[in-house]
C-alpha cells in the first residue's frame, strides 16, 4: 500500500492505496463516489472521463497513486457549476442520453468542448466526442445539446 495525498471534489484526502488501483476504482470503492462509471478499462470508451487538474482525464488508465498533489473533480462536484447546469438542461431538452451510462463522461467532455472551443461547429463537436462512446442516442441529441449550449453562451456574450 502507498500513501497518496490529493484533493477530491474540493476536499483534501489522504489515503492508502494499492498501486494497481486506478483512479475510477479509488473514487468508487474508497470514496464511495459512484457517479464515475467504468466501461472498457482501456481508455477507449470514455465513460470514466473526469477532471484532473482542470482537464478531462480517463480515470481508468490513471492509477490513484500517480495522482499525488492532483485536484480531482468527479461528476458529483458539478451540481452548482454554471456550464454543467446549462449542459444538463440541454441534455434533457435534446434527448442527449437514454440509459445514462456514458453521461458522466459525456458531460465532462461536453464541458471541455464548451469552455475550450467556443466556436466549435458540428463537425468539430463530433470529432471531440469521438472519444466517448454512446450506444443509445446515435449522437444526434448529444451534438444538438452541446451546440445549444454553445449558442446560448455566444448569445449571452453578444448581449
Partner 1 sequence: MKAAAFDYHGPATVAEAVALLRESDGMGKAVAGSQSLGPMMNLRLAQPTQLVDLRFLGELRECRDEGAAVLFGAGVTHAAIEDGKVPDPSLGLMPHVAGRIAYRAVRNRGTLGGSLAHADPAADWVNVMALLDAELILAGPDGERSVRAGEFMLGAFTTVLAEDEIIKAVRVRRLGPAARWSYYKFNRKTGEFAEAIAAFVDDPESGVRRAIVGAVDGAPYVIEDASALIDGWSDPAAASALQAAGLVPGSYEYQVHRVALRRAAERLSRPNGAQQ
Residue 64 CA to residue 145 CA, distance in Å, equals 32
Q: How far is CA 70 from the centre of its chain?
A: 16
Query: Could you tell me which stretch among 26-34, 73-81, 128-136, 142-150 binds partner 1 (CB under 8 A)?
Result: 128-136
The tally of CA atoms less than 13 A away on the side-chain side of residue 60 is 15
Q: Which residue has the cell 498501486?
A: 19
- Position 41 contacts partner 1 (CB under 8 A): yes
- Position 2 contacts partner 1 (CB under 8 A): yes
Residue 56 CA to residue 73 CA, distance in Å, equals 10
Query: Could you tell me which stretch among 76-84, 108-116, 142-150, 151-159 binds partner 1 (CB under 8 A)?
Result: 108-116
Nearest to 30 by CA among 10, 61, 8: 8
Question: What does the per-residue mask of binding to partner 1 show for 63-92, with x meaning CB under 8 A?
Answer: x-xx-x------------------------
Q: Which residues bind partner 1 (CB under 8 A)?
A: 2, 18-22, 25, 41-44, 46, 49, 52, 55-58, 60-63, 65-66, 68, 108-109, 112, 126-128, 130-132
Amino acid at each position: 500500500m502507498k500513501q497518496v495525498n490529493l484533493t477530491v471534489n474540493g476536499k483534501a484526502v489522504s489515503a492508502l492505496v494499492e498501486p494497481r488501483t486506478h483512479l475510477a476504482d479509488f473514487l468508487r470503492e474508497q470514496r464511495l463516489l459512484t457517479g464515475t462509471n467504468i466501461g472498457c478499462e482501456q481508455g477507449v470508451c470514455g465513460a470514466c472521463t473526469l477532471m484532473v487538474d482542470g482537464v478531462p482525464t480517463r480515470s481508468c488508465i490513471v492509477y490513484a497513486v500517480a495522482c499525488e498533489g492532483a485536484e480531482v473533480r468527479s461528476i458529483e462536484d458539478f451540481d452548482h457549476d454554471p456550464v454543467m447546469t446549462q449542459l444538463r438542461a440541454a441534455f434533457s431538452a435534446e434527448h442527449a442520453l437514454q440509459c445514462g451510462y456514458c453521461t458522466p463522461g459525456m458531460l465532462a467532455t461536453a464541458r471541455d468542448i464548451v469552455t475550450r472551443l467556443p466556436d466549435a461547429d458540428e463537425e468539430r463537436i463530433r470529432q471531440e466526442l469521438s472519444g466517448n462512446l454512446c450506444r443509445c442516442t446515435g449522437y444526434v441529441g448529444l451534438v444538438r445539446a452541446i451546440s445549444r449550449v454553445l449558442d446560448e453562451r455566444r448569445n449571452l456574450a453578444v448581449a
